[in-house]
Chain A
Amino acid sequence: MSIIYLLIPIAIILAGVAMWGFLWSVNSGQLDDLESPAHSILFEDDDHLIPDDAKPRDDNETK
């Protein structure tokens, strides 16, 4: 059981590292815009990478 003398301080340090990472991302503006990055991954122009026969037909693409 005495291992917890080591493990708990490690856990606290890890939590501290996580906290530092979080504070850094807040301060550097990474969290200013939570909406567009979620969409932007879908926007890339990778049409040419999809085989023609695997392409879905897009009838109402705006909806």
Chain B
Amino acid sequence: MNASQDPLKHEQGCYHCGLDIPPGSQYITQIGGVDRQMCCPGCQAVAQVIADGGLENYYKHRTSEATSPEAISADDQLLAELSLYDHDSVQSSFVVQTDKLTRQATLVIEGITCAACVWLLEHHLGALDGVEKVSVNLTNHRARIDWQQSEIKLSEILLAIHSIGYQGHPYHPDKEEQLLERETKLAMRRLGIAGVFSMQIMMLAAALYTGAGASLEAQYETFIRWASLVLATPVVFYASRPFFEAALRDLKTRHLTMDVPVSIAIGGAYTASIWATLTNSGEVYFDSVSMFTFFLLIGRFLEMKARHRTGRAGNALLNLLPASAVRYDDGQETVVAANELQQGDRVLVKPGHTIPADGRIIKGSSSIDESALTGEYLPLTKGIEDSVVGGTINVENPIDIEVTQVGASSQLSSIVRLLERAHEEKPQVARLADKVSGYFVAAVLITAATVGLTWWQINPDHAFWITLSVLVVTCPCALSLATPTALTAATGTLRQNGLLITRGHVLESLAKATHIVFDKTGTLTEGNLSLQQIRTLSEITDIDSLKIAAALESHSEHPIAKAFHKDPRVQNTAAAETLTNHVGQGLEGIVNGQRYFIGKPGFASQHCGADLSFDDAPDRSGQWLLLASEDQPLAWFGLNDPPRKQAATMITSLQQMGLEVQMLTGDSSAAVEHIAGQLKINRVISGVSPEQKLQHIQKLQDEGAQLIMVGDGINDIPVLAGAQTSIAMGSATDLAKTNADAVLISGELMRLPQALQLARRTRSNIRQNLGWSIFYNLIALPLAATGMIAPWMAAIGMSVSSLVVVGNALRLTKLGKTNPVE
């Protein structure tokens, strides 16, 4: 890591959220009798509420840091929005009246990071008067709250959630989510039944095996067989139903999968065992049937869990749109729910607020922060007749807009549609794996049939059990375990180290990757502007010029102004007088009786006779602001979005591993070149829209590139979905995370090269496993086919070969060391 980039930043992070504390920051909260430093007023306020409520234990127990709270305190807009939720009409969709006085609501809580959050929420909310019961689910981030309608209002509960740094939204389950929930419960029930009953059957089978022959009298043996039959029946008819259904579906579509031989083995063995029980002849295989089902179900269940882990897309998108809007009704301003807006409505958007729907400006002008959609972190200046997009943020002045698009036709929805399309085009890798296993299955079936027929000719008595042995021995158990065990071990290791993998193909694709494409803002960089350098042009000192600039910027919510607010040298600067905001140009105001201008060089210098432009700025990197008085230009301020600490090291090690690193960004400013230079990225594509991003990676993929996309914003979602492998940053929006194949929870970029190396080790591990199980099958198959292996021997052989595979896979539970940083 390049130590010269941040000489003084090696202090502890913010006590609440763990972000860096700006040097000299003054935000301190007393927690458990000790003064703790916070990074911002937001964290300070939240920590104060937690400490005041006597809930400091939260800090003791948590295992990961809190998310940085967005708003400092509840402003009028928030209160107005929350009070909307008190209306019965709004509540009707997510609140149930449990009895006369109590109501129950299910909320989605944003910002839950670990079990301590659950504890904190339950205790903080539970302590409110009128709240009867709170239970928060850590897995799906939902809270169920019961409260007395007469004692407390829902808006007050939501406010309490807000005050400890979380956000509560009503939970509207969409169809897909309800389906997922049903699927999970069904799978659990199947697993439970298979597990409990197969243990019972094994117990009985032990008696049959040990007593086979002399010591067990025939009538008891018959009885035990009947008992096994009773126990095995629900396992076959309920628990293994998905295998039969899938096999039937596959046969209809003329497409062979593992389900076909699995169903034949289960169905065949079960039927044969019933026959044996009824006629009191031959062998029973109830134990093999149920254990086989149980093991297969475990595998399926784990796979399904991983797939569902982030299936919460529906609610995430709606959160981007504000819940309320200010509408003009016959000249009167009324607060309405945003989803009540109609085309043609006139809406007031105050500075700092999110635009509720697509529309065009009919009064006023302002700058609009479209970073959520385009990734451009500097707001765009917009005036009358310009169109604005719902979900973007109005930064500077109040504007009136006329709504042009709502709901499904809005631009935000179109991004979601783009995403759906990208999803559909994705799974080429999976298809290939299917094809290969299809051939394998066909081979197994043909072999088993041939063996069966041959033995039918030679000795019909042995034909059935030998065929069964062949099916069990070749049951692609070791073969089918080979990949999943290695993948599970590696996935677990990565999760412990901060990379959460949500889709099965990721490790395979990581190992094969040839290209890695990064988004810039928020991924390679920290995602917000900060003041990097000051160049004075006259006798004025750095700190004096900075004070004047901070006074001018003190009231603005523009990202540029925020860079000044954050600077610790000018905390609590009094605002300048008679501030005037020239939209898209800069600010003008009076400090200590002197008139100053700050902003674009052309604007700031026009009054002092020195006509300066961006060409006169000290260099071409980043964003330069000019401060000028009425007489002369005073100072240049260089603002920049600094790269993340580990970015440069990470890119070097990725390049050493032989990957081509590219940067793909919606930003078109000079900062792009600068960052690329700093990080030594050769190929940079800048100023592209989400559609173009998608096209770019699709083109790369068509040319045969095995691609990894790393990004974070809403604008990256289509490209994340369209990329063969996608990784979202931990700070990304929920929607982006949902659509990524993996999430880098810790935000530590060095995990990427480590993950890639582990993926490569996993690939060779899988190859070893496959080699072993094929070797085993080659030996076992002829033995089974020639009738030298009984079904129980086949089952043992299968288990041993599986154990070897599992043991080998367990070697992947250690993460290799790559360039240990610090």
Contacts and interface: CB of A to CB of B under 8 A. Distances in A.
Interface of A: 1, 4-5, 8-9, 11-12, 15, 18-19, 22-23, 26-27, 31-36, 38-40, 42-43, 45, 47, 58, 61-62
B137 A36 contact: yes
A58 B185 CA distance: 42
A58 B115 contact: no
Contacts of B155: none
Interface centre among B140, B203, B227, B230 (most CB of A within 10 A): B227
A1 B115 CA distance: 53
Interface of B: 15, 54, 57, 59-62, 65, 115-116, 118-119, 136-140, 185, 188-189, 192-193, 196-197, 200, 203-204, 217, 220, 223-224, 227, 230-231
A61 B59 contact: yes
Contact of A33 (B61, B139, B220): B139
A43 B200 contact: no
Contacts of B57: 43, 45, 47
Contacts of A8: 204, 223-224, 227
B196 A36 contact: no
A4 B188 CA distance: 31
Contacts of B203: 11
Interface centre among B54, B57, B62, by most chain A C-beta atoms within 10 angstroms, is B57
Contacts of B116: 39, 43
A31 B191 CA distance: 13
Given A8-B227, A18-B196, A22-B192, A36 B115 contact: yes
Contacts of B220: 1, 4
A58 B60 contact: yes
A19 B192 contact: yes
A12 B115 contact: no
A26 B119 contact: no
A8 B203 CA distance: 10
14 contacts: A9-B227, A12-B227, A19-B197, A22-B192, A23-B192, A26-B189, A36-B118, A40-B115, A40-B119, A42-B61, A43-B119, A61-B59, A62-B15, A62-B65
B137 A32 contact: yes
Contacts, number: 81
Contacts of B223: 4-5, 8
Contacts of A15: 196-197, 200, 231
Contacts of A5: 223
B61 A23 contact: no
A9 B224 CA distance: 10
A15 B202 CA distance: 13
Nearest to A18: B196
Given A8-B223, A19-B193, A40-B119, A62 B231 contact: no
Most buried by A among B60, B115, B193, B230: B115
Given A22-B192, A26-B192, A39-B116, A33 B137 contact: yes
A26 B188 contact: yes
Contacts of B230: 12
Nearest to B192: A22
Counting chain B CB atoms within 10 Å of each CB, the highest count among A22, A32, A39, A43 belongs to A43
B231 A12 contact: yes
Given A8-B227, A45-B57, A1 B196 contact: no
Nearest to B234: A19
Given A4-B224, A12-B231, 15 more contacts: A1-B220, A8-B223, A8-B227, A11-B203, A22-B192, A26-B189, A36-B139, A39-B118, A40-B118, A43-B119, A45-B54, A47-B57, A58-B60, A61-B59, A62-B65
Nearest to A47: B57
Contacts of B62: 62
Contacts of A62: 15, 59-60, 62, 65
Contacts of B65: 62
A61 B137 CA distance: 24
Contact of B185 (A26, A38, A61): A26
Contacts of A32: 137, 139-140
A47 B204 CA distance: 51
Contacts of B140: 32-33
Contacts of B138: 33, 35-36
The 8 closest A-B pairs by CB, nearest first: A39-B115, A36-B138, A33-B137, A43-B119, A22-B192, A36-B118, A61-B60, A35-B138
A25 B22 CA distance: 49
Nearest to A38: B115
A31 B139 contact: no
Nearest to B216: A1
Contacts of A35: 115, 138-139
A42 B115 CA distance: 10
Nearest to B200: A15
A36 B54 CA distance: 21
A40 B140 CA distance: 16
